[in-house]
Amino acid sequence: MKKTIAIALTLALGASLAACGSTSSSAAASASTSGAAGGTVTLKVGASPSPHAEILEAAAPILAEQGIELDIVEFDDYVLPNTALADGSLDANYFQHQPYLTNFNAENGTDLVSAGSIHYEPLGLYAGKTASLDELADGAVIGIPADATNGGRALLLLQDLGVLTLKDGIDLDYFRNAEDITFSEYDGIAENPHNVQIEALEAANLPAALPDLDFAVINGNYAIPAGIADKLLATEDAAGDAAQVFANIVAVRAGDETRPEIEALVEVLKSDEVKSFIEEKYEGSVLPVA
């Protein structure tokens, strides 16, 4: 079983790195932060459609009052927003947590950094063919995200729910320094009493695959637009350490975190107005970082 998991996860990682994304405007354009008539500056920010782009849209009118126009570019995967940022096509992106960014930098030789933590999305376990964990059968198939950080985070949630047990050392502290995360380490499942089969899929594809799985652990930014709230069985503890470790950040190229426009963006995203928007719109599925 351990070998099967490791192989499945390794193959899925390859698929993840090859994944393509789509944008709502051309990401091939050059970085667009430039002065304009009347002192207006355009800031091009890549984001997942929900909730990130929606949160940016809520922040846009406030930034416009400061002479900053947001150009929001939507991506449907977890790779292209960082490659577009690294090559200068974007000024910033907003879709990921720090462990994912740290791991991405290590694997791709990029130098992207956090300009600030904005919100937290508790990772959730969703029912597919099986309605409840009480009905968990031997050999059940559970989908998890294919990328190393979210895949490991999903296994931690399954451990918290009593589905399996991981070996010592694979815990939240392990993800605080995500540079050395590899999928081969996930054959470190110590106990698998139900012989569950872990199927690692591109995170964006998990909601569509849910009917063919017994359960799936899904990221909030993909679960929300999929309309599967009624299938949610359990989430990470929103009051626990995971909320800090996996807080979603605004990422920029190293050195750009002190640009006035970037500092203004982060300040507005952390403002009371935007926090209220997050709390009212997402009703707990997305939480502002204190």
Rounded to an integer, the average pLDDT of 13-39 is 40
- pLDDT at position 157 over 80: yes
Q: Which range (85-94, 199-208, 221-230) has the least confidence?
A: 221-230
CATH of 37-121+245-288, one of 3.40.190.10, 3.40.50.300, 3.40.920.10, 1.10.3720.10: 3.40.190.10
Q: What is the tally of helices (H) and strands (E) in the chain? A: 11, 13
Rounded to an integer, the average pLDDT of 98-108 is 92
The reply to whether omega before 51 is within 30° of 0 (cis) is: yes
pLDDT of residue 242: 82
Rounded to an integer, the average pLDDT of 62-72 is 98
Q: Which range (156-160, 255-259, 286-290) has the least confidence?
A: 286-290
pLDDT of residue 12: 38
Instruction: Specify the domain boundaries for CATH 3.40.190.10 within the chain.
Output: 37-121+245-288, 122-237
pLDDT of residue 24: 38
pLDDT of residue 32: 42
Closest CA to 246 of 94, 95, 98: 98
Q: Which residues contact 171 (CB under 8 A, 6 or more apart)?
A: 156
pLDDT tens per residue across span 159-209? 999 999 999 888 888 877 666 666 666 677 999 999 999 999 999 999 999
pLDDT of residue 145: 92
Binned at pLDDT 50, 70 and 90, residue 38 comes out as low
CATH of segment(s) 122-237:
3.40.190.10
Mean pLDDT, rounded, of the chain:
85
Residue 170 Cα distances to 42, 93, 192, angstroms: 42, 29, 15
Residue 99 Cα distances to 10, 106, 128, 196, angstroms: 18, 11, 28, 26
281 vs 23, more confident: 281
pLDDT tens per residue across span 104-126? 999 999 999 999 999 999 899 99
**What number of CA atoms fall less than 13 Å from residue 253's CA on the CB side?**
10
pLDDT of residue 185: 62
